[in-house]
Amino acid sequence: MQRDRRASDAERQTVVRRLERALREGRLTIVEFDERTQAAYAARTRGELEDLTEDLPRDLW
């Protein structure tokens, strides 16, 4: 992934779905989920999106 490339709406939605799954599985608190979701919708680059899920297992997607 090219971290400095602009993120698309579809990429933002994909990250939010991953965060939703992490919340359901108890990997994130509701506060963490809220913060990361807001950051996902505000993200301008793919790198910013990647940072939001880097501490979560890859099997969430």
Helices (H) and strands (E) in the chain, counts: 3, 0
What is the band of 60 on the pLDDT scale with cuts at 50, 70, 90? Answer: low
What is the band of 61 on the pLDDT scale with cuts at 50, 70, 90? Answer: low
Rounded CA separation 7/46 (Å): 5
The first and second tokens of residue 14, run together, are 């994909």
Q: How far is CA 13 from CA 9, 17, 39, 40, in A?
A: 6, 6, 12, 8
pLDDT at 29: 98
CA-based radius of gyration for the chain: 11
Closest by CA to 40, choosing from 5, 16, 18, 6, is: 16
